[in-house]
Structure 1
């Protein structure tokens, strides 16, 4: 019995898909099956007596989508030929779009995680942001794949999103210029005291090899400890997650388990041949760490005793597989649960880190549209966000209440002066972009989660 593994970074949605055993084939359905009597009868009636000719392919696709919608499972979906083509395109080395993983959750299209360095990240999109519309078209009732076809597009073109952030009552408008999104997944940097930070942003075809190479490069530079950063990592290819987990989890220790509906369990064990690393390791996680990255985090925590730092992870604990049809369409469906080495099911719960560290409030402020003018005597949620940004940067906008008063105008002018911009006293255009860039830089330079992870590595070194 072979092992068929299939986990994709798809067209905007993270899939964890694997099948232990032989790949299944789609079986033909006999018309004698009584449970399909109403379905066939309805089809025949419409085909014969509907007042206009019907599109038979569209009717069949709709019937399949109806069955899938009734399951109320955001990870089970039907993809027509065009959607399936986009699905397969996204596992290549690059694609064009905004660079954000999305899923359908509670009948809404929700951001799982923006890709590092992508237009979505630069625009300030965050995990759990709800995308209400794309270029004015409502996404209500759409599947994630349908939404992605609207969001994606050619490099250099703009897409306008209406986004609702958790805790806010009013949606914000986000204009994003699409770009080529390379699937570069490993970023290594040596920090002070010879502690390396290696960030893995997703699991694609070469991630395991890239991580091994980066670790060797850091060791050649005298690495004494390592922070494995899995924040904002929405998942990817399972074989790569297995390869990465096996670099840290001792040989034959459990990496994860799969449980089927009949109660049968399959256990995946570490393929490590080199033993546990001789240097201390800490893993960084956050609410954007999902799916395969949660498998790695749980495996390193429970089977290798490696501490987790950050905030609770996303919480995706189900397994999907796909059935391909001859016309190029496919059905993706949930076929099992995955469990941590100790048998915990983290679905909708996430993984709680050993050391909880939240980012400051200004790290989660909503996007402010550069196309919108925020000026004196107006009030809005975006003005409130501007006040909070200026306050975080050390300016004095007065009372943070969403009202653009004289105090805020003075603070804006001072910011514009320091940024060598025209002192209009209004937040718009270049001022908005500069303000958000400064906040992004502050978050990066004052990364309290990374600082705590480094501190934890140092404590391990001191033992």
Structure 2
């Protein structure tokens, strides 16, 4: 029987491959209670009988299970009570309300893996590897990833405030995100033309149920023209269903070697191979970055190691373990890491990622976030928000004499120039209308394909081959 594999559709959950429960072999519990079980039962009874306050037995059980899984030290193994389990299943729906970012947990910290393309999280400036420290001014120490997710989610139009630590920033950041419905439109496509050569472009945002079909339809549309080559973009793609990855790969790679291996604790490996016999006649490149995780890494590794397609961008996230979802019979479940996945060349990329064959970094402006402030920023202030403002102004081409957060005369002159160019009231102060215009200017810059160095490098690569 074919092994059923799935990757969690991970809008605000930890990404990872996991088996369906029917593949997990549960050992029978011995009839005689073991010493370990007896110890657990004795501790439970002592708490019930002697603790200073009455304790709910279900709370004790949930706590014991959470502690048992937490003792593994594995961020991808999680116990979910009934409420968290329902939330997990809801996250697999085609639409949900939230901020549109995948979150994982590493060494006790909650990290942003990737904001989804065009999501509230991306528009607010959240980035891969941002560390979440607070939600609405509350510390999140001790929470599970699902409890954190519940805090971040909320009705469309409501606002959540995230405390963020970012490696290049000395001070913590506060980022406000307005929640919205997050539709899972997984595939978009377009055509680029340079020097008379047409390059097809397919962006895969996540790997959902219909992704394979959507890629096939996009290919059929693009191939109506004589293609010089194709770009497959999985930047910022946090993962999805393995069945979709396999279906997508069937359009691009042959069966000359497996597209991945699954390795058990025993060392036993299972090879998964594409059914395709013929390779595309035109060159293909794959765009990757630090937000490409799990399923995206399976695709990127297979495209490179099976067919030698060029990978352009920056090193991927690095997620190489496989989880299994186990129902525990009362509505709760456990997601347990049970194996590794390896690339076609049998490499384990966990915590290493996949390096591009052609490294291309984006312009500095791509790394900047929108400036957020509830107060007017003006000359004489000294603030981290002013520092972010100064870096943004310099990136947009305005002359500013410093980036240390002191609102200098030079900063004021740059704001006056920006306001004049934007047909805003020229005050030299950064009020709400100026902040909004700065944000839309930054967004427009990032969305302009001419500013996307990685995309332009891929188009140029296709034009040369």
> Which TM bucket (shorter chain)?
over 0.9
TM-score (normalised: structure 1): 0.95
Among candidates 412, 429, 441, match of residue 409 of structure 1? 412
Distance, in Å, in 1 between the alignment partners of 2:11 and 2:202 is: 26
Contact map agreement 2:364 2:395 (CA 8 A) in 1:
no
Distance, in Å, in 1 between the alignment partners of 2:105 and 2:455 is: 31
Q: Does 1:39 align with 2:44?
A: no
Shift of 1:424: 2.4
Contact map agreement 1:7 1:17 (CA 8 A) in 2:
yes
Distance, in Å, in 2 between the alignment partners of 1:241 and 1:399 is: 47
Distance, in Å, in 2 between the alignment partners of 1:37 and 1:373 is: 63
Distance, in Å, in 2 between the alignment partners of 1:426 and 1:108 is: 37
Shift of 1:22: 4.5
Among candidates 448, 452, 456, match of residue 457 of structure 2? 452
Q: Does 1:235 align with 2:239?
A: yes
Structure-2 residue corresponding to 1:204? 208
Structure-2 residue corresponding to 1:362? 365
Distance, in Å, in 2 between the alignment partners of 1:424 and 1:176 is: 27
Aligned-partner SS, 1:194: strand
Shift of 1:380: 2.2
Among candidates 228, 245, 248, match of residue 244 of structure 1? 248
Contact map agreement 1:259 1:266 (CA 8 A) in 2:
yes
- The more displaced of 426-435 and 15-24 is 15-24
Q: Deviations over 1:208-267 (max 9, x none)?
A: 111111111111244321110010011110000111112111135210011111010000
Contact map agreement 2:204 2:234 (CA 8 A) in 1:
yes
Structure-2 residue corresponding to 1:350? 353
Distance, in Å, in 2 between the alignment partners of 1:29 and 1:432 is: 62
Q: Does 1:67 align with 2:71?
A: no
Contact map agreement 2:15 2:102 (CA 8 A) in 1:
no
Q: Does 1:321 align with 2:329?
A: no
Shift of 1:399: 2.2
- The more displaced of 195-204 and 135-144 is 135-144
Structure-1 residue corresponding to 2:172? 171
Distance, in Å, in 2 between the alignment partners of 1:94 and 1:63 is: 34
Distance, in Å, in 1 between the alignment partners of 2:442 and 2:422 is: 13
Contact map agreement 1:298 1:351 (CA 8 A) in 2:
yes
Q: Which runs of 5+ in 1 are unaligned?
A: none
TM-score (normalised: structure 2): 0.95
Structure-2 residue corresponding to 1:437? 440
Q: Does 1:379 align with 2:348?
A: no
Structure-1 residue corresponding to 2:185? 184
Distance, in Å, in 1 between the alignment partners of 2:231 and 2:280 is: 13
- The more displaced of 435-444 and 92-101 is 435-444
Q: Does 1:302 align with 2:305?
A: yes
Distance 1:145 1:223, change over 3 A: same
Structure-1 residue corresponding to 2:223? 219
Structure-2 residue corresponding to 1:16? 16
Structure-1 residue corresponding to 2:424? 421
Give the alignment's Cα RMSD to 1 decimal.
1.7
Structure-1 residue corresponding to 2:7? 7
- The more displaced of 248-257 and 202-211 is 248-257
Distance, in Å, in 2 between the alignment partners of 1:264 and 1:27 is: 19
Contact map agreement 1:300 1:306 (CA 8 A) in 2:
yes
Q: Deviations over 1:138-195 (max 9, x none)?
A: 1122221111000001111111111111221211111111110000011111112311
Shift of 1:27: 5.8
Shift of 1:34: 1.6
Aligned-partner SS, 2:414: helix
Structure-2 residue corresponding to 1:263? 267
Aligned-partner SS, 1:54: coil
- The more displaced of 321-330 and 261-270 is 321-330
Contact map agreement 1:14 1:291 (CA 8 A) in 2:
no
Distance, in Å, in 1 between the alignment partners of 2:183 and 2:437 is: 25
Distance, in Å, in 1 between the alignment partners of 2:62 and 2:429 is: 51
Distance, in Å, in 2 between the alignment partners of 1:21 and 1:357 is: 41
Contact map agreement 2:20 2:324 (CA 8 A) in 1:
no
Aligned-partner SS, 1:435: helix
Q: Deviations over 1:56-102 (max 9, x none)?
A: 11111111111111111111111111111111111111000011000
Shift of 1:433: 2.2
Q: Which runs of 5+ in 2 are unaligned?
A: none
Shift of 1:365: 1.9
Distance, in Å, in 1 between the alignment partners of 2:241 and 2:61 is: 31
Number of corresponding residues: 459
- The more displaced of 312-321 and 426-435 is 426-435
